[in-house]
Chain A
Amino acid sequence: MKQYAASTMIRRLPEQYFSKLEKSIVALKSQGADIINLAQGSPDQPTPDHIIKSLQEAAADPQFHRYSPFQGFSFFKEAVAEFYKDQYDVDLDPNEEVCILFGGKGGLVEVSQCLLNRGDVALVPDPGYPDYWSGVAMQEANMHMMPLRHEHGSFLSMKTFQLGCAMKQSCYSSTTRTTRQGGGVFCVF
């Protein structure tokens, strides 16, 4: 079979750390081991019935069988704005301040694609969610890790202003003024 070389972008992607762990678990399970899996992060409960019912009814509606509006239905973005008002008393313009994402994971990659150029910097927590790293690698940007301290059962961020001086130093030395003007630095946590 002919093998095609992957693009340099694909080759830049970090190793999927957990696929190795998953393989070990699967191998042991196939040998009959009763594994209690506390490693994975997928919720174990089902989606509530009323949400499933809503999908089932809507799936039968022909208006949804056609292409959706490119940037999503207004009713959904308005629901997001309503949710943020109810839960957090935050006002959002549903058209200008809400964007639908294909899951949080997809959104994290897209943010890098939208904001980072080659050589730009992303400040990323350590430890942090490995999916933060993928988008940064795709854009040939650089990650600067923000070490977190473990205290009282959770990781707390270090004082950001302490970090800021070190980061600012390395930001200015590793990126050009032009890329910085393009908003080429972001911090995710």
Chain B
Amino acid sequence: MASSAFFEETVRFANDHDICTVHDFAYGAISFDGVKHPSFMQTKGAKENGIEIYTLSKTYNMAGWRVGFAVGNRSVIKHLNVLQDHQYVSLFGAVQRAATTALTSSQAGVTELQQMYEKRRNVLVQEAKRIGWAQQAPKGSFFAWFKVPNGMSETEFATQLLHEAHVAVAPGNGFGEHGRGYVRIGLVNDETKIKEAMSRIQALNLF
């Protein structure tokens, strides 16, 4: 999760090298331990340097609705609008109306959602520790990146989990070379399922 200090460094670096920064803020609302993720746009110079992309998918459980927005640098916003003029005629107006409701009415539901993911995170970390797979707790988003047991590749580990424990996790190499050695675990299941998944993994005696 990016910090304000990192954002300041990014603006400095980006301006020095004539680089447009694009901050993907999809998980902006899903932060844990009392910390609120800062927006890149809060950093001095960020709005002039680049853009931030926000989506309603995670914050409001609207993944299927296809609603997001870009904010920031005027030239980039203008180019995006020009491109879209040729490809689309904007979102269905009723969806824009519902999205407006989402953004401007009470955000109590978002707080509850964030607390739900935090509880699930705690269960995941606790259960993983219980079975001998102690890992650091993620600070936000609804993913945890856990290291694969020694001697196994992330693909081997994920395949074994899927076929022998019937638990699906995403092998880290799918996200880039530096994801090797890790699997990505989602918190998009209830606590009972998370506990059950860990018990099934425990039965494989890998730790």
Contacts and interface: CB of A to CB of B under 8 A. Distances in A.
Nearest to A111: B22
A160 B171 CA distance: 26
A71 B90 contact: yes
B179 interface: yes
A106 B66 contact: yes
Given A36-B167, A43-B58, A115-B79, A97 B74 contact: yes
Contacts of A58: 93-95, 97-98
What secondary structure prevails in chain A residues at the interface with B?
mixed
A155 B135 CA distance: 13
A4 interface: no
Contact of A126 (B109, B177, B184): B177
Interface string B57-69: 1101111011111
B166 A123 contact: no
Contact of A38 (B9, B38, B169): B169
B86 to A, nearest CB: 10
Given A79-B100, A104-B54, A126 B9 contact: no
Nearest to A96: B74
B120 to A, nearest CB: 10
Contact of A47 (B24, B60, B135, B176): B60
A54 interface: yes
A37 B94 CA distance: 33
B189 A97 contact: no
B interface, size bucket: 35 or more
B131 interface: no
B55 interface: yes
A159 interface: yes
B187 to A, nearest CB: 8
Interface string A79-112: 1101110011110110011111111101110110
Interface string B172-184: 1011111100101
Contact of A55 (B23, B57, B68, B98): B98
A100 B96 contact: yes
A167 B17 contact: yes
A37 B168 contact: yes
Contacts of A163: 13
A176 interface: no
A186 B76 CA distance: 11
A157 B21 CA distance: 14
A155 B1 CA distance: 7
Given A97-B47, A126-B177, A160-B10, A154 B139 contact: yes
Given A79-B104, A123-B19, A153-B136, A99 B189 contact: no
Given A99-B69, A127-B179, A187-B20, A68 B89 contact: yes
B9 A159 contact: yes
B2 interface: yes
6 contacts: A35-B166, A36-B168, A61-B93, A71-B85, A96-B78, A186-B21
The 9 lowest CB-CB distance pairs between A and B, nearest first, are A153-B136, A64-B93, A126-B176, A127-B179, A127-B175, A58-B94, A104-B55, A58-B97, A54-B101
